[in-house]
Every structure is written in structure tokens, then in C-alpha cells.
Structure 1
Amino acid sequence: MSPILDPETIVLITGANQGLGYECVKKLAAEQSNYRIIIGSRDIVKGQAAASNVTKIANNTSIEAVQLDVISDESINAAVNLIESKYHRLDVLFNNAGIMFVTESTPRAEFRKILETNTIGATCVTEAFVPLLTKAGCPRLLFMSSGLGSLTLTTLPFSPYYGYDFKAYSTSKAAVNMIGLLYAKQLRKSGFKVNLVDPGFRQTNLNGFHNEGGDPAGGALEACRLITDASADGQHGSFAATEGPVPW
């Protein structure tokens, strides 16, 4: 089937009822017209509340929510079916949903829960939505990563990430980087733009609103730049922050 060319850009951001995903929704809503932004939220009530709040600042942009739990295949498939029935395609998928801390008392349980959400969840969501993305004129696929997932930055004493030891979270993001690269290689010939984003250390619910974190809005800049770049020669296969490329 030929790609669908339409003035409306349809964007799905997982885990976007709060945190950096929500910051991306707000920025896109305020700056972009003819966008339809879909907030993926595990709790649909929270997703709908977030959509209602953002609608107040929207610039000719439509905001809605869909129930989407990235660790549930049933929820993922239901979201795919809903978006396909309403819009027949998806222009942008941003795998943003993630967790950093859990209450599990053993390393095995901690690793299992964090990787299930951050890595396996993002992979399963991507697999499910690739057919709808293929129908877009310029499909964009983004993954929320982190400097904590950089092997290079983890080993450099002068790196801002050197002093942190979040084994499960860092491992999950290093794995996300590999997943993103594999999709970049797989989907390049289909016209996809696949990239990974390091938002920097931001003060959000993910890290308990750590007082050393920067302005959450700053964490949305690079992601939104990539979301809105529909050029044929746009960035592809990168791991980058607002300041520039991030070492793998």
C-alpha cells in the first residue's frame, strides 16, 4: 500500500500523562498546528485528564488519550486496533514510557520489572505499530534513552553520569539503544527515521523529582525536534541530546 499523505500528523507518545512525555505533548500542542497527539497512558483516567489540561493551550492541535499498558499485549493490541480504525496510520511513535525505581526486594525481581517495562515493553509496542507507521508518508520512530545507558559515559570519570549506580535502569537503557539501532537498520529502506533521545537529568516523577534535576521542559526539546522533522534526509540512527550526539 502506498504511504498516506495527509496534512494532519498523528503522534503517539507512550507514558505521556506525566513526566517528560507530558512535556513533549505540551510543547507540540503549543507550537504545532494540524497535529493529532495521542497520549498513551496505562491509566486511561489520568491520560484523559492530561489531554484535557493540554487542550487548553493547544494551537489548532487535537489531543486525546488511549489506554496503553506497555507490559500488556492485550492493551497494546487494543490501542493498535483503535488507532487503525480511527486514522488508518501512525506518523510518529515515541516510546517514552519507563520506570527507574521499583519496590521489589531482590535484584532478579528489580531487573525483571524494569527491563519488562523499559526494554521489552518498548520493543513490543514498536512491533505492534510498525504496520501502521509503514502507511505514513515519513514514519518516525523514537526511543527515550538516557546518558545512563551509554557505555562510554559510564566509564569516564569526568562524565556527569559516572557517579551513579542504577544497574537495572542503566542496563535497560543500554538495551534500548541496541533495540533502536536494530530497528534503524531494519527500517531504513522503508523510509523510516529511527532515533534515540537522551533528555538529560531532569526533575520528574521518574527520579522522585530529584532536586539536582534540570527543568523538565528542557528534556522535551530534542524529542520534539525529531518528532516534527519530516524531511526525507532527516536524522536517522542517532543517539542525541539537545546539546548534540551522545556516545554509545
Structure 2
Amino acid sequence: MQKVAVVTGASSGIGFALCERLLQEDATLHLCLACRNMEKANVARNKLLSSFPVADISILQIDVGKMESVLHAAEEIKTRFHRLDYLFLNAGVMVNPRISFGAFLHGIFSRRAYQMLTTAEGLMSQEDTVTSDGLQEVFATNLFGHFLLV
């Protein structure tokens, strides 16, 4: 019986490299690319098929930061596949840090200027938005969405 692997965040980076490696190890594997952006997922699928022409690759749309999408994808996985051998929870987001120029101007003329410039303490800030489900975006995407999927 054909083994099934689902990889979240499979359209690029580590997720895509993992998909390549899985197909190198087992060409008979059914690989499901679980991605938020279907256009990028199709590009990734085509790249994989160019390297592994006989591979069995499907695409599943999922945004692990949105609970409704995760629940819908979980039902879709149960419907499509009668078994699930591997589930790689790779998708995630990282909030981009920003420089606070106000803190820089205030700190550069204070007694803490040396510490501020050598450690960046108080200069860098990260803004984590709240999802429509009321969760912090990083928590919802990197942890809770995957927990819910499992």
C-alpha cells in the first residue's frame, strides 16, 4: 500500500527541501504539499515533478494561522487519504523586527547610549498581530494551527 506524507509549508525553503528528500528516499510515496498560497504550491509541484517525473504529488490548501482553514484541511485529508504515514509540521511565520528611531534618538543622548548601541536593547521591536480567531499570529501559525491539525 502506498505511503502518504503531508508537508505543511512545502512551497519553499525547508519544506520544499524536505519534499525533495522524501522523494529521493521513496519514489513511490504519495506526497501532499499543504500550502497557503496555491500559486506557489503549483510552482513547487512542477519543480518536484521535473526532478521526479513519476512522483505522485497532490496539493492541499491550508493556512495554519486560520483555524477554519485548518479544520477544513483536516477533513480534506481524512476524505482524500485512507491513511497518513507522515505529517511534517513545517509551516511557520516570523515577525520582522523593526528599529525604533524614537528610542534611538532618546537613548543616544543618555547614559545608556553605550549599552543601547552594543546590545540593541530598546532599539528593536516586534509587532505580532492578532488573528481573526483572537490569537497572536505567531502562536496561531507556528503552534496552535499545527496542534489543531494533528
TM-score, structure 2 as length reference: 0.69
Amino acid at match of 2:91: A
3-state DSSP of counterpart to 1:65: strand
Does the CA contact (< 8 Å) of 1:83 and 1:89 recur in 2? no
Displacement of 1:61 in angstroms is 2.6
Aligned to 1:234: none
Aligned to 1:80: 74
How many angstroms apart in 2 are the aligned matches of 1:102 and 1:71? 17
Task: State whether structure 2 residue 143 is matched by structure 1 residue 122.
Answer: no
How many angstroms apart in 1 are the aligned matches of 2:95 and 2:127? 14
How many angstroms apart in 2 are the aligned matches of 1:33 and 1:83? 21
Alignment of 1:6-85 (within 5 A): 6=1, 8-58=2-52, 60-85=54-79
Aligned to 1:102: 96
How many angstroms apart in 2 are the aligned matches of 1:37 and 1:72? 23
Displacement of 1:124 in angstroms is 1.5
Alignment of 1:117-156 (within 5 A): 117-126=141-150
Name structure 1 gaps, 5 residues minimum.
Answer: 1-5, 127-248
How many angstroms apart in 2 are the aligned matches of 1:87 and 1:110? 34
Number of aligned residue pairs: give it: 120
Does the CA contact (< 8 Å) of 2:65 and 2:137 recur in 1? no
Identity across matched positions, percent:
27
3-state DSSP of counterpart to 2:128: helix
Aligned to 1:90: 84
How many angstroms apart in 2 are the aligned matches of 1:85 and 1:109? 34
3-state DSSP of counterpart to 1:49: helix
Does the CA contact (< 8 Å) of 1:102 and 1:114 recur in 2? no
Displacement of 1:19 in angstroms is 0.7
Displacement of 1:49 in angstroms is 1.6
Q: Structure 1 10/109 Cα, relative in aligned 2: closer, same or farther at 3 Å?
A: same
Q: Structure 1 74/27 Cα, relative in aligned 2: closer, same or farther at 3 Å?
A: same
Displacement of 1:82 in angstroms is 2.2
CA deviation profile, 1:218-240 (whole Å, cap 9, x unmatched): xxxxxxxxxxxxxxxxxxxxxxx
Does the CA contact (< 8 Å) of 2:34 and 2:62 recur in 1? yes
**Alignment RMSD:** 2.4
Name structure 2 gaps, 5 residues minimum.
Answer: 101-124, 131-135
Does the CA contact (< 8 Å) of 1:30 and 1:57 recur in 2? no
How many angstroms apart in 1 are the aligned matches of 2:126 and 2:78? 39
